[in-house]
Amino acid sequence: MATGMALVLCMSTLRLKRPEAKYILWPRIDQKSCFKSMITAGFTPVIIENRLEGDELCTDLEALSNKIEELGAQNILCVMSTTSCFAPRVPDKLEEIATLCKTKDIPHIVNNAYGLQSSKCTHLLQQAARVGRLDAFVQSTDKNFMVPVGGSIIAGFDKEFVELIGKTYPGRASATPSMDLLITLLSLGSSGYKKLLADRKEMFEYLQHNLSVCAANAEERLLNTRGNPISMGITLSLENDSDGKLATEIGSMLFTRFVSGTRVVAPGKENTIGGYTFQNFGAHCNSYPTAYLTAAAAVGMTKADVDTFISRLTKVLAKVKGVKSETCGAVNDADPPIKDSETTSSRLQGDGHE
């Protein structure tokens, strides 16, 4: 099963240990699968809104701690934190959450959906387990190993607990995701995978540099979200666009130019998921100071992908903002012919196949 369903299994297993607990404390991350997983597992999500620190949206530890006091630790099934997320949100403060969970004797599950490809995220997991409590963490196979959607890895530092989760699976399962992963790992080899990770890190910096140049030329700026090792964003401060229509239009324009991995987040959207209504779903908070566009450097992304993306974004911004595209960036401005196999869309981090 994919990540969201694997999280359901983790929570169902925790229920065996804490039959009375019904709340899950969840620092807000606007991704539907992980929110739905809590509802599918039969628990009541308690949303902890993020704190804005500079451009970054971070864990509000004080709010988390207060909520624990308010609800009573024994009534809380677990805290579900997140490492990998779209900018401007940054990974949760894992060490502090793990420490709090240890002190209060509350289980801690981490959604590490696409974090396995980032040494920063895996380091956070390692540290959290070292200083505090971390019961299990879950990652997607397609997002980290470039296999088709359908699998995930449930991991933890306590072998018995991980085995217990495995045992809750009702019935037989498809071998396809394991087979896909095995074939991929054998063909890459350990060195091949490590090279992919190193290349990704380099691509992140390449994307960041080019995106900031492109943004500056369009009189926008790169959001300063240094805590996020995979995803980044640029502002879209457009005139007369308080309803975000024009910003959203930029997203559509990119999409029709085969760039589907970017997300445009503009104010004003309300979304209901599993009976819960979110203000500005997608923004990870009720109101972010500006509209913005995000892009991510995920494993498998190439320099050509970045160049194609920047070239198309430059043109779109020029068109919308009336800036001459020649002034934007030192990138190859000629659109290469579009082939399905090499569109940027397939390589940029998608929205999690919700």
Closest CA to 227 of 118, 129, 130: 118
Question: Rounded to the nearest whole angstrom, what is the least distance from the CB of residue 38 to ligand PLP in the complex?
Answer: 11
Per CB under 6 A, residues contacting ligand PLP are 2-4, 29, 31, 33-34, 82, 84-85, 111, 113-114, 140, 143, 352-353
Question: Rounded to the nearest whole angstrom, what is the least distance from the CB of residue 227 to ligand PLP in the complex?
Answer: 15
Q: What are phi and psi of 233, to 5 degrees?
A: -145, 160
Question: Rounded to the nearest whole angstrom, what is the least distance from the CB of residue 280 to ligand PLP in the complex?
Answer: 17
How far is the C-alpha of 152 from the C-alpha of 350, rounded, in Å?
Answer: 16
The encoded tokens of residue 275 equal: 């009976």
| Gyration radius from the chain CA atoms | 21
* 88 prior amide bond cis, ω within 30: yes
Residue holding tokens 């779209």? 86
Specify the residue, 60 or 142, whose C-beta has the smaller distance to ligand PLP: 142
Question: Rounded to the nearest whole angstrom, what is the least distance from the CB of residue 82 to ligand PLP in the complex?
Answer: 6
Question: Rounded to the nearest whole angstrom, what is the least distance from the CB of residue 64 to ligand PLP in the complex?
Answer: 18
Give the residue numbers of the binding site for tRNA. Answer: 130, 257
> Residue 290: helix, strand or coil by DSSP?
coil
Question: Rounded to the nearest whole angstrom, what is the least distance from the CB of residue 29 to ligand PLP in the complex?
Answer: 6
Specify the residue, 33 or 344, whose C-beta has the smaller distance to ligand PLP: 33
Give 239's contacts (C-beta < 8 A, 6+ positions apart). Answer: none
Give the residue numbers of the binding site for substrate. Answer: 172
Tell me how far CA of residue 234 lies from CA of 46, 168, 329, 331, in angstroms: 30, 43, 15, 18
Question: Rounded to the nearest whole angstrom, what is the least distance from the CB of residue 2 to ligand PLP in the complex?
Answer: 3
Specify the residue, 299 or 316, whose C-beta has the smaller distance to ligand PLP: 299
Specify the residue, 13 or 152, whose C-beta has the smaller distance to ligand PLP: 152
- Give 218: exposed, middle or buried? Use CB within 10 Å, 0-12, 13-18, 19+: buried
Give the residue numbers of the binding site. Answer: 130, 172, 257
> Residue 304: helix, strand or coil by DSSP?
helix
> Residue 57: helix, strand or coil by DSSP?
strand
Specify the residue, 311 or 345, whose C-beta has the smaller distance to ligand PLP: 345
Specify the residue, 121 or 328, whose C-beta has the smaller distance to ligand PLP: 121
- Give 150: exposed, middle or buried? Use CB within 10 Å, 0-12, 13-18, 19+: middle
Specify the residue, 111 or 117, whose C-beta has the smaller distance to ligand PLP: 111
How far is the C-alpha of 128 from the C-alpha of 45, rounded, in Å?
Answer: 22
